[in-house]
C-alpha cells in the first residue's frame, strides 16, 4: 500500500473634559494580572499590542505603536491570556520575544492554560504562537490547554481580518472570523481538536465573504474547516491544506464559488468534503485515508526519535507487534453540491472506499492513480463528464456520467 511522508497615535492619557464626563482617548490599553491570569483590554482606537515572553520565562505587555499601557507591564508570571482588543483595526501579537538578529523565526510563548484573543469590530491582525511547555532536551513541546481566536462579531460590512496561528501545540484550537475578506493561516499547529470557521453566521445580501484559508503542517485527531456555510452566492473562498495528518478531517464549503485543494494529507479514519452551492473546484493530490502497517512503523519511528528511546531495551519486540496490527479502514467522501463543479482526484490511497457525489449541475470528474477497495462516482442531475485514467486499482462504480 502506497504511503506518503508527513512533514514544524502618539501617547495620550486620561483627562477630564468636564466635571460630569470622563473620556478615555484612543490608544489606551488596560492590563490586569490576577493569579497568573493576564487580561488585556483595548479601547476604540487602532491598538498594536505585543505580549512577549522573555528568556527568563516572564512576560512583557508592549504597546508597539505608542499606546499608553495602564496596569502591570513587565516581568509578569502568566498562566493564561485573555485579550479583548475592542473596536478599531487592532493588531495583537503573542509569542516569545522576537530575536532582532533573526526576526523571521517565530518562537512560541509558553502558556499552560487558555489563550483567548477577541478582535472585536474592525479589521484586525492577530498572530498567536503558543505551546504549554518546551522541553528542548527531548525536542518536545507539551500542549497548552486551548487557543481561541475570534476575529470579531460583525456580520455586515467589509471588515477584513488576518489571523495566523503558527508553531502552536494545544489541546483545543478554535479560530473564527466573520463578514469580510479574511485570511487565516494555520502553520505548524498540533492539537487534539481543531475548528476553523472563516464565515460564522449569515452574510448579508450587500456583503461578500471571500476568504483565504491556508493550513500547512497540521496535525489533529479531529479537524473541521468551515468556509461559511451561510455565506451568500456572491461569496467565494479558497482553502489550501498541505502536508498534515488527521484522525478525521471535515471540510464544509459555502454557497458561493469555492476552491478546495488538499495535498500530502493523511486522514486515519475519514476525510469528508461538503462543498454545498456554487461552481466549486475540488482538487486532491497525494491523499491517503486509513492506516497501514507502514504508517504504524513511521509513527513509532517518530516517537522513538523524539524521546530518544532505545528499542533494544523495550520489553517487547516492536517490529513483531507492528506486524500484528490490522490495517485501519478509512474512507474519502465528497459531496460537491449544486452548481457546475469540477473534481480532480490523483494519487489517492484509501484502505476502504472512495465516494464522490457531484450532485446537481453540469459537473466534471477527473481521476487517476487511485488505490481503494471500491470507488463510487455519481454525477447526479445535469450533464456530467468523466475522465478516468488507466491507473485505478479499485472496483469502480460510475453513474450518470458521459465520457469526455
247 φ, ψ (degrees, to nearest 5): -75, -60
Give me the mean pLDDT over the 26-32 stretch.
Answer: 84
Confidence of residue 207 (pLDDT cuts 50, 70, 90): low
Note the pLDDT of residue 153. 67
Predicted pLDDT at 106: 87
Distances (CA, A) of 100 to 103, 106, 130, 358: 5, 11, 20, 51
* Residue 13, pLDDT score: 39
> Among 223, 271, 264, 214, which residue's Cα sits nearest to residue 244?
264
Of residues 10, 82, 73, 72, the one with CA closest to residue 46: 10
- The more confidently predicted of residues 215 and 104 is 215
Residue reference for cell 464522490: 356
Q: Tell me what pLDDT residue 229 has.
A: 65
pLDDT at residue 15 tops 80: no
Closest CA to 117 of 137, 146, 78, 141: 146
Question: What rounded mean pLDDT belongs to the chain?
Answer: 88
Q: Is the dihedral of CA 135, 141, 147, 149 positive or negative?
A: positive
Top-confidence range, 138-142, 212-216, 317-321: 212-216
pLDDT at 23 over 80: no
> What pLDDT score does 121 carry?
87
Confidence of residue 12 (pLDDT cuts 50, 70, 90): very low
**Three-state SS string across the chain, please?**
CCCCCCCCCCCCCCEECCCCCEECCCCEEEEEEECCEEEEECCCCCCEEEEEECCCCCEEEEECCCCEEECCCCCECCCEEEEECCCCCCEEEEEECCCCCCCCCCCCEECCCEEEEECCCCCCEEEECEECEEEHHHCEEECEEEEEEECCCCCCCCCCCEEEEEEEEEEEEEEECCCCCCEEEEEEEEEEEEEEECCCCCCCCCCCCCCEEEEEEEEEEEEEEECCCCCCCCCEEEEEEEEEEEEEEEEECCCCEEEEEEEEEEEEEEEEEECCCCCCEEEEEEEEECECHHHHHHHHHHHHHHHCCCHHHCCCCHHHHHHHCCCECCEEEEECCCCCCEEEEEEEEECCEEEEECCCCCCEEEEEEEEEEEEEEECCCCCCEEEECCCEEEEEEEECCEEC
* pLDDT at residue 233, as a whole number: 59
The three grid cell numbers given for residue 129, joined into one nine-digit string: 504562537
With a cut of 60, say whether residue 108 has pLDDT above it. Answer: yes
Domain range annotation of the chain = 27-196
| Residue 394 in this model has a pLDDT that exceeds 60 | yes
Task: Identify the CA nearest to 277 among candidates 362, 359, 340, 338.
Answer: 338
Q: Is residue 303 scored above 90 in pLDDT?
A: no
Longest dimension (CA), the chain: 83
- Better pLDDT: 236 or 322: 322
Q: At a CB cut-off of 8 Å and minimum separation 6, what does 356 contact? A: 333, 334, 336, 343, 345, 365, 367, 375, 376, 377, 378
pLDDT of residue 206: 58
Asked if 45 and 4 count as a contact pair (C-beta separation under 8 A), the reply is no
Give percent above pLDDT 70 in the chain. Answer: 88
Q: How far is CA 121 from CA 31, 164, 181, 199, 285, in A?
A: 20, 18, 14, 15, 38
Q: What is the pLDDT of residue 404?
A: 62
Is the pLDDT at 166 greater than 50? The verdict is yes
> Per-residue confidence at 131, pLDDT binned at 50, 70, 90?
very high
pLDDT at 356: 98
Mean pLDDT of 142-149: 97
365, 364, 362: which is closest to 339 by C-alpha? 362
Q: Which range has highest mean pLDDT (23-32, 181-190, 301-310)?
A: 181-190
Q: What is the pLDDT of residues 217-257, one digit of tens each?
A: 999 999 999 997 666 556 789 999 999 999 999 999 988 88
49-53, 120-124, 306-310: least confident range? 306-310
Tell me the pairing of strands 22-23 and 15-16. antiparallel
| Separation of alpha carbons 327 and 352, rounded Å | 10
93-100: average pLDDT: 92
> Taking a C-beta distance cutoff of 8 angstroms, is the pair 198, 185 a contact?
no
101 vs 318: which has the higher pLDDT = 318
Phi, psi of 301 (to 5 degrees): -60, -40
Average pLDDT over residues 156-172: 89
pLDDT level of residue 20 (50, 70, 90 thresholds): very low
Please, which residues have CB within 8 angstroms of residue 129's CB and are 6 or more apart in sequence? 94, 95, 96, 106, 107, 108, 109, 165, 166, 167, 168
Amino acid at each position: 500500500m502506497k504511503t506518503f511522508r508527513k512533514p514544524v497615535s502618539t501617547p495620550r492619557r486620561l483627562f477630564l473634559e468636564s466635571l460630569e464626563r470622563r473620556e478615555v482617548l484612543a490608544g489606551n490599553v488596560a492590563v490586569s494580572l490576577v493569579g497568573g491570569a493576564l487580561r488585556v483590554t483595548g479601547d476604540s482606537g487602532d491598538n498594536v499590542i505585543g505580549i512577549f515572553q522573555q528568556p527568563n520565562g516572564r512576560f512583557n505587555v508592549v504597546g508597539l505603536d505608542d499606546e499608553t499601557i495602564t496596569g502591570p507591564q513587565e516581568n509578569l508570571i502568566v498562566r493564561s491570556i485573555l485579550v479583548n482588543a475592542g473596536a478599531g483595526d487592532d493588531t495583537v501579537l503573542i509569542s516569545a520575544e522576537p530575536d532582532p538578529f533573526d526576526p523571521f523565526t517565530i518562537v512560541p510563548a509558553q502558556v499552560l492554560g487558555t489563550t483567548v484573543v477577541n478582535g472585536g469590530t474592525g479589521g484586525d491582525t492577530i498572530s498567536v504562537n503558543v505551546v504549554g511547555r518546551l522541553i528542548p532536551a527531548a525536542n518536545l513541546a507539551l500542549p497548552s490547554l486551548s487557543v481561541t481566536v475570534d476575529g470579531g462579531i460583525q456580520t455586515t460590512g467589509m471588515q477584513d481580518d488576518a489571523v495566523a496561528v503558527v508553531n502552536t501545540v494545544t489541546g483545543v484550537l478554535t479560530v473564527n472570523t466573520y463578514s469580510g475578506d479574511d485570511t487565516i493561516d494555520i502553520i505548524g499547529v498540533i492539537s487534539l481538536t481543531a475548528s476553523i470557521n472563516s464565515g460564522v453566521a449569515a452574510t448579508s445580501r450587500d456583503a461578500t465573504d471571500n476568504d483565504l484559508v491556508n493550513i500547512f503542517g497540521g496535525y489533529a485527531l479531529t479537524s473541521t474547516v468551515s468556509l461559511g456555510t451561510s455565506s451568500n452566492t456572491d461569496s467565494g473562498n479558497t482553502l489550501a491544506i498541505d502536508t498534515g495528518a488527521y484522525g478525521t478531517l471535515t471540510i464544509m464549503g459555502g454557497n458561493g464559488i469555492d476552491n478546495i485543494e488538499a495535498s500530502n494529507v493523511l486522514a486515519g479514519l475519514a476525510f469528508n468534503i461538503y462543498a454545498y452551492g456554487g461552481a466549486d473546484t475540488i482538487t486532491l493530490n497525494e491523499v491517503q485515508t486509513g492506516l497501514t502497517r507502514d504508517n504504524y512503523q513511521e509513527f513509532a519511528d517518530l516517537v522513538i526519535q523524539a524521546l530518544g528511546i532505545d528499542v533494544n531495551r523495550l520489553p517487547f519486540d516492536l517490529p513483531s507487534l507492528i506486524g500484528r496490527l490490522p490495517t485501519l479502514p478509512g474512507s474519502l467522501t465528497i459531496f460537491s453540491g449544486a452548481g457546475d463543479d469540477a473534481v480532480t482526484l490523483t494519487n489517492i490511497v484509501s484502505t476502504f472506499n472512495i465516494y464522490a457525489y457531484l450532485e446537481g449541475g453540469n459537473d466534471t470528474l477527473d481521476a487517476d492513480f487511485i488505490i481503494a477497495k471500491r470507488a463510487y462516482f455519481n454525477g447526479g442531475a445535469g450533464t456530467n463528464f468523466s475522465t478516468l485514467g488507466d491507473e485505478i486499482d479499485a472496483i469502480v462504480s460510475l453513474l450518470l456520467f458521459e465520457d469526455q
